[in-house]
């Protein structure tokens, strides 16, 4: 009796270990991400090259291809997959294929700052479908290979991302996939080869049903493109209607004295810094009356300020400076996009839009500084709109005045952007420009 009682626990222990090992073996054999094919490595490599397994694609839906997430599925859109394939030869006619799928989708959060692309965990469906495709491609012509018993059979729903009707990215026919290392294919979410959000790449149609599907997707893409164009036009209209302060003067250099009265011999209130801005209340021959803060007032020598548009050096010139828009002293002669050869550091050696301006045939007198600046302002506004919509690679705009008293004015795209958005006044914008010679815009 004693020997029997002592042997029973050992026997039960051995049986438990056997059951656990058998279960672990069954799990390993049913792993949907790898499969052993009874073909040579060369045959399998040829099949993989024909299938373009490394090409990324778009998922028809996310629910059914990714594991459950904490957020509702309707907050996810534009799901994409990328597969990495690793091939290991285990014998002369036995090759192991291991597939890892990466799934990502756009997540829309109630807080826009938290929205963005998120990586999801694949539930094995993408891997299993790709393994089935490989098995089908290895089957003899005219014979359809049944799903392997080591992998679960395909479900009827959801539709496989590898089916002819699925919206997937077109493979690169000239590229040979790298199947020696598990590296994800290039051309992911940030690839320039992918279309705009919501516009899918379509596999070549093979039936009338595919043609109808292609037609519907094309109509949807045209509709979305029309909406985007409408948004761009609305934004351009907002920029055109953007208002800028017209009565702000900017201090040229640090240490400029703000006086209590108009005169160098009067008491000094304080010293202003470079690019300090003051509202102009009145303009005299030599001194400008400015608002400091609240009810505080002061006087600054006009030569120490960059005056706003329409405010001249003295009151007698105010009318002449306010009317340059009616003159046509300059016209655009030619334009090109090229490398900036000047020495201005913000644009030196960078791609810029260069515009040459020549004297207009209707001009009857030399252009004043105000006229030149007004013309340059209109050119900068037009050039920025073209760059922001058609040529985002350009770093700035350069205007070359090809005349007897010519000069050159340059601005960076960032300064133009802040100016057009209303974050910079006219006077502050001109301070950030390169003006050669420096007195080119002076009255």
DSSP characters over 68-129: --SS-GGGEEEEEEEEEEEEEEEETTEEEEEEEEEEEEEE--SSGGG-EEEEE-B-SHHHHH
Please check whether residue 57 is in contact with residue 79, taking contact to mean a CB–CB distance below 8 angstroms.
Answer: no
Please check whether residue 355 is in contact with residue 338, taking contact to mean a CB–CB distance below 8 angstroms.
Answer: no
- Tokens coding 354: 């260069």
**Alpha helices, H only, 173-261:** 208-240
298/423 Cα distance (integer angstroms): 25
Radius of gyration of the chain (CA): 36
- Tokens coding 330: 């300059």
> What confidence category does residue 247 fall into, taking pLDDT thresholds of 50, 70 and 90?
confident
**Could you give the 3-state DSSP secondary structure of residue 200?**
coil
184/427 Cα distance (integer angstroms): 51
The continuous run of DSSP H or E covering 287 comes out as strand 287-293
Nearest CA to 443 among 280, 330, 318, 341? 318
User: What pTM does this model have?
Assistant: 0.33
pLDDT tens for 87-99 read 888 888 899 888 8
Please check whether residue 340 is in contact with residue 347, taking contact to mean a CB–CB distance below 8 angstroms.
Answer: yes
Question: What residues contact 139, with CB distance under 8 A and at least 6 apart?
Answer: 145
pLDDT tens for 259-290 read 998 888 889 999 999 888 898 888 888 899 99
pLDDT tens for 298-339 read 999 998 998 886 665 444 343 333 334 434 578 888 899 999
What is each CA distance from 92 to 39, 139, 178, 191, 356, in whole angstroms? 8, 18, 21, 39, 71
């Amino acid at each position: 009796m004693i020997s029997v009682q002592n042997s029973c626990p050992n026997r039960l222990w051995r049986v438990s270990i056997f059951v656990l090992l058998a279960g672990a073996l069954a799990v390993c054999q049913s792993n949907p991400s790898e499969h052993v094919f009874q073909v040579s490595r060369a045959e399998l490599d040829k099949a993989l090259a024909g299938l373009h397994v490394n090409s990324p694609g778009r998922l028809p839906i996310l629910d059914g291809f990714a594991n459950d997430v904490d957020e509702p599925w309707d907050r996810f859109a534009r799901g994409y997959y990328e597969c990495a394939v690793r091939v290991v030869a285990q014998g002369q006619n036995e090759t192991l294929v291991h597939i890892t799928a990466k799934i990502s989708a756009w997540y829309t959060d109630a807080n826009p700052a938290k929205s963005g692309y998120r990586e999801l965990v694949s539930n094995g469906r993408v891997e299993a479908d790709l393994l089935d495709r490989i098995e089908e491609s290895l089957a003899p012509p005219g014979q359809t290979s049944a799903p392997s018993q080591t992998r679960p059979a395909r479900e009827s729903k959801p539709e496989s991302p590898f089916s002819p009707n699925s919206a997937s990215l077109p493979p690169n026919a000239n590229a040979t996939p790298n199947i020696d290392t598990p590296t994800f294919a290039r051309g992911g979410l940030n690839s320039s080869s992918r279309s705009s959000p919501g516009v899918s790449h379509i596999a070549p149609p093979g039936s009338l049903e595919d043609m109808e599907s292609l037609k519907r997707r094309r109509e949807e893409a045209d509709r979305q493109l029309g909406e985007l164009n409408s948004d761009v036009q609305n934004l351009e209209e907002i920029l055109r209607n953007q208002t800028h302060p017209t009565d702000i003067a900017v201090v040229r250099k640090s240490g400029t004295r703000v006086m209590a009265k108009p005169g160098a011999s009067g008491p000094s209130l304080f010293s202003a810094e470079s690019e300090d801005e003051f509202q102009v209340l009145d303009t005299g021959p030599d001194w400008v009356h400015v608002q400091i803060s609240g009810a505080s007032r002061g006087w600054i020598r006009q030569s120490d300020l960059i005056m706003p548009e329409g405010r001249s050096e003295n009151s007698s010139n105010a009318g002449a400076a306010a009317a340059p828009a009616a003159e046509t002293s300059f016209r655009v002669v030619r334009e090109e996009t090229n490398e900036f050869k000047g020495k201005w550091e913000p644009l030196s050696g960078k791609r810029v839009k260069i515009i040459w301006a020549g004297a207009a045939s209707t001009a009857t007198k030399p252009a004043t500084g105000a006229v030149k600046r007004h013309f340059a302002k209109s050119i900068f506004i037009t050039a920025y709109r073209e760059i922001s919509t058609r040529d985002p690679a350009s770093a700035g705009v350069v205007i070359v005045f090809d005349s007897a008293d010519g000069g050159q004015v340059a601005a960076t795209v960032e300064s133009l952007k802040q100016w057009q958005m209303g974050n910079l006044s006219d006077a502050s914008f001109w301070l950030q420009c390169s003006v050669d010679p420096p007195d080119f815009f002076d009255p």
